Chain A
Amino acid sequence: MNKLFQNASIGFKIILISALFAAIFLGVSFSYVVLHVRSMLIAEAIKSLQSDLQSEKEKVEIYADQVKGIVLALKGTPPVQGIIRARTNGGIDRLDNSTLVQWQNRLQAIFSAEMAASGIYDQLRFIDKDGREVVRVNLVDGKPHAVPESELQYKGDRDYFLETRALSDDSVYVSHTQLNREGNPPTVSVPYKPVVRYSSPVFQKQTGTWSGVLVANVLTDRLIRKNSVLGSRFDLYVADAEGYFVVHPDTTKEWGGPDDLGTGFNLRGEFPGASFDGQSGVIYEGDDVLAYVRVQFDKNDPSRDWIVLERVPSSVIFGSINSTVASAIFVGFATFVLLFFIFRFAIRRLLSPLQDLAVGTDRIGTGDFDTEVPITSQDEIGRVAEAFNRMADKLKVLYSSLEDQVHEKTKNLDDKVTDLEKTQRAMTNVLEDIEAEKERAKAMLASIGDGLIVLDKDERILLVNKSFEALLGWKESEVRGKKLTQVVPMLDASGTLVSEESRLITKTLKEKKKETTQDRSVQYRRKDGSHFPVAITVSPILSDEQVAGAVEVFRDITKETEVDKAKTEFVSLASHQLRTPLTSINWYTEILLGGDAGEVNEEQKRYLHEIYDGGKRMVELVNALLNVSRIELGTFIVEPKATDVVALLASVVDEQKTAIEQRHISVSVDTREWSTLYNADPKLLRMIFQNLLSNAVKYTPPGGSIQITVAGKVKGQTYGTVTLAEDSFCFSITDSGYGIPANQKDKIFTKLFRADNVRTMDTDGTGLGLYIVKSIVDHSGGHIWFVSEEHKGTTFFFILPNAGMVRQEGSRALGS
């Protein structure tokens, strides 16, 4: 709906809105008017109805009063008195000698004349004081008929008779309206004769004695209809004071009262809820209007009132309106249609310039700036048209200037594009170079002789090189994305599978540090199940301190291992081979020296000693060389166990007792600051002690002294010249010996080095001892250093971790 409205033309919109507006306006005002007129008409109708009723009521009341007068008049006629006189005088009127009968006939004649003249009486009677009818004239077939003496009736018990008897001379009794009853018992005469009895007491003129009653039975409907137009136009309802209908459009509903037919139809039943208490009023029953008036037959007695209603049906009231409304609607509609067309035409005319405007805009849109829109008026639309034309002119100017600018800019752009193209070509060249580099790098990578694995931070293989494939038998496509530890099992020295947590890659990724295999016993298993020894280095790939992955390089060290093995075996063999002849020399010399082959003289003894010493030195050298070779070959085993350091030291000192005593050197051992066991490899610790002590003994002149201290110190304390970085086992040995020349201090720990000052002296030494000691100390996690002054003495210090020598797995144990 909305869309439809939006897309419609202005004209349509205006018309639609106006029509809507007009319709609403007309509708509202029309309805208002109609309703108003309606209620006015109703009021009018009611008013007229009521005034009719009122006038009718008055007429009836006047006439009713007239009847009263007539009754009184009839009462005063001479026959009445004549009858009275005659009856008191035996039937003869003494006054004029007329007989009773004559007076009766005369009265009958008067009655008849009145009845015929007025037409409203059903009976006119004179009843004597005993209640006997004296004269009675009935209306029979529309003609007065004097009733003969034999048919006169006794009415002495009738209420009207009794009531009237009590009245004064000038009063007239008015009865309720009732259906006339005749006979004994009194039965309702048929056809129904509703009568109202007017009666007045008769008094004898002379005596003033009450002598009877004059009664006139008035036909009520005739009373009403004779004198009014009531019931002629509209339905007439008349009810007595108790509400029982006297007149009803449905005649069966008349005379419902208990004294009459007893049907019970009454006002309350007909018009429930309506009130008839006022003198007049209006009742609405549906669309009909009923107006009522109270007709008072006796102003002093409301029980004699009649309620007269006239019903005006709605069709009558509204009849006039409806036709008016119908014609009004028609007129309205016709007007509406006419207006519509006029409006439409006007709008069209008014808005057609807009159409031109729209067309003009389209034309400008195509680039025709010479477009002009016709200006047909000076109103707003006209002004827009003017503005449009001006705009078109301006656009023309603007456009041409724009064209110039565009032209210029385009030229700029073209130049820029050319530059860009040049740059692009240069870039392409660079990219090609990069590509070439990349290819070279790739080729280099592929040709790296060692196996290369690039892993992500979850240990998954990202990339491997050709060597990997060759060494392990897996293709890159088979292993990419898989975890290294799953694809390539690692075996340790004993051939057991190494767990994932113990793998180097795991350690590297966790601790962000480079890890290298420490010995040559680690193996990788190939795809086909065979295995080979490897040297592995894993380095983390760090980006912003975070581990992004790792790179592993590994080498097949089968050759090296074999070489190692060969070397080891060679050394073993060599040392073994060297030892045998040495043993031979020593033992034979020992036998000779021992005199087991005969006596030897002093000179012989001397020479034999030289041989023996030489042999011993050789043995020492061979032992030292063997250790050095073990050190050189790689790691040696450090197997710490709880060692009684004090006892060990004591035993070492004891071993060298002979030499110590020979040179008269005093050796003191202070182990007061170390009381517990210490986790050391006893063999290695012994070697350290032995070496340091033998050096101290060797290089101290006779009579010198050696002090040994063992202590435990805590982190931060100073020991010797060093501040301890951790709790340490601290050892020092101080001698009062030759000292170490300052310029040779840096070489002290090197292989086969002997300082000049001791070489000139007659001391022997392999030059390997300190090298071995330093290697042991360093390998066990400790540190060794010395302070020395030539000719004064030397102190060697070494410290080891308080917790103990660091355990080292290895393939060799150093020995002696």
Chain B
Amino acid sequence: MGKYADFIWAAYGASLIAFAWMIADTLVRGRAARRALERLESDEARR
């Protein structure tokens, strides 16, 4: 990777961190929203 290998790997590492955050945050929010709605809809069905 040459004498600037640290910069290249840091750039790919930063990109990976950005993607990891986006994917994790998105999946966590999606799961929480789905479970909260399922709970409320089942409560409403019971009423």
Task: Note whether A and B form a binding pair.
Answer: no
Q: Which residues of B come within 8 Å of A, CB atoms?
A: none
Q: Which residues of A come within 8 Å of B, CB atoms?
A: none
